[in-house]
Amino acid sequence: MSADTHHENAAPLAHHFESYEQQRESASLGMWLFLGQEIMFFGGLFMVYILYRWMYPHAFAEASNMLNVQLGTFNTAVLIGSSLTMALAVRASQTGQSRKIVLFLILTMILGTTFLGVKAFEYHHKWEEHLIPGSSFAFEGKDPAHSQMFFFLYFAMTGLHALHMIVGLGLLAWLCFPAWKGRFSAENHNYVEGVGLYWHFVDIVWIFLFPLLYLIGRKGA
Amino acid sequence: MSLHVVPLRVYIIVFLSLMLGTALTVAAAFVDLGWMNNLVAMAIAATKATIVILFFMHVRYSSRLISLVVVGSFFWLALLIVLSLSDYITRGFLGVPGR
């Protein structure tokens, strides 16, 4: 395919790449290296969680029962749905369907915002129940000190996750303009692919957070 | 790797299996399986994550170099967890002299 006559306003092949194929793979590889360090970034928090849960399983189970499983499940479904719409946005960019890219980007943003809205509602509820770690923390349990550690991890992990979602929403909004202008094509849709990889990674983090935070100590409940 | 446009059908099947996994993990959490509860929850989460990586993140259709980076990243995470736990879990095994 003669690359230069195709897609007049598409992003060009950078001079240091031999082909669009090589440019695409380099972009994905770079994004994966970034995600590799993101895995370690979240990994530290997961490690702390594993350790404290191993040390204080009952305090963690008791604290986890204060979370709302229905809302957690709903949010998991919303986030998986947003991963589907994101994958479809990337697919539309591969086939150069500008309008469809924008449509799926907007759907992804709506689902992402829904997730954050539910999360804000949950945070507010925890605030009213005095479950925010600190001087006003009040928990009627057998081991409140270590249940507080659970809530510290709950807010740190879901908070960092939510921060990633907010960054993701910004990236999605930023993509809408070039998508609408028809800048993405089969040869060059690396921005959409890269943001897609990021969005799916954030989904994967939640896939692990949901059972670890919401679903422990539920048996027999 | 040449561009591979994944068929719509594949994305729909992936989405449905992720939803099924979510339903399963919630259902399993309310059944008393003893120590197996953790194992089941993590096995389902790992399966869901693998499906997302292979299909939504196109690793199944990408070059070996990218697969290597993905596997390497998770291997690094495994090192963090396994080595840290091998320290903490074994601390009580031997008494500390003079304490």
Query: For residues A77 and A75, what is the distance between their CA atoms, to the nearest angstrom?
Result: 5
Residues of B in contact with A86 (CB under 8 A): 56
Around Cβ A151, how many Cβ atoms within 10 Å? 21
Under the banding of pLDDT at 50, 70 and 90, the label for residue A3 is very low
Rg (CA), chain B: 19
**Which residue in A28, A73, A94 is closest to B5 by CB distance?**
A94
Query: For residues A83 and A106, what is the distance between their CA atoms, to the nearest angstrom?
Result: 12
- Residue from B70, B64, B61 nearest B10 by CA: B61
Q: What are the sequence ranges of the domains in chain B? A: 1-60, 63-91
**Which residue do the tokens 């409140």 mark?**
A144
Residues of B in contact with A43 (CB under 8 A): 77, 80-81
Residue of B nearest to A25 (CA): B1
Residues of A in contact with B31 (CB under 8 A): 219
Rounded to an integer, what is the distance from CA B2 to the centroid of its chain? 28
pLDDT of residue A8: 52
Residues of A in contact with B19 (CB under 8 A): 77, 80
pLDDT of residue A120: 97
Q: State mean pLDDT over A37-59.
A: 96
Q: State mean pLDDT over A98-113.
A: 97
Q: State mean pLDDT over A80-93.
A: 97
Under the banding of pLDDT at 50, 70 and 90, the label for residue B14 is very high
A77–B30 CB contact, under 8 Å: no
Q: How far is CA B3 from CA A21, A92, A121, B13, B56, in A?
A: 8, 13, 42, 21, 14
pLDDT per residue over A117-167, tens digit each? 999 999 999 999 999 999 889 998 899 999 999 999 999 999 999 999 999
pLDDT at position A1 over 50: no
**Which residue do the tokens 């709302």 mark?**
A68
Residue of A nearest to B56 (CA): A87
Percent above pLDDT 70 for chain A: 94
Q: How far is CA A23 from CA A28, A150, A206, B64, in A?
A: 9, 44, 30, 16
pLDDT at position A11 over 90: no
pLDDT at position B15 over 50: yes
A87–B11 CB contact, under 8 Å: yes
Helix A190-214 and helix B8-29, axial crossing angle in degrees, nearest 10: 10
pLDDT per residue over B26-67, tens digit each? 999 999 998 899 999 999 999 999 999 999 999 999 999 999
CATH number of A20-214: 1.20.120.80
A44–B88 CB contact, under 8 Å: no
pLDDT per residue over B82-94, tens digit each? 999 999 999 888 8
Residues of B in contact with A200 (CB under 8 A): 52-53, 56-57
Query: For residues A91 and A212, what is the distance between their CA atoms, to the nearest angstrom?
Result: 32
**How many angstroms separate the CA of residue A64 from the nearest CA in chain B?**
12
B29–A197 CB contact, under 8 Å: no
**Which residue in B11, B26, B42 is closest to A73 by CB distance?**
B26
Residue of B nearest to A71 (CA): B26
pLDDT at position A30 over 70: yes
Structure tokens at B63: 């070059």
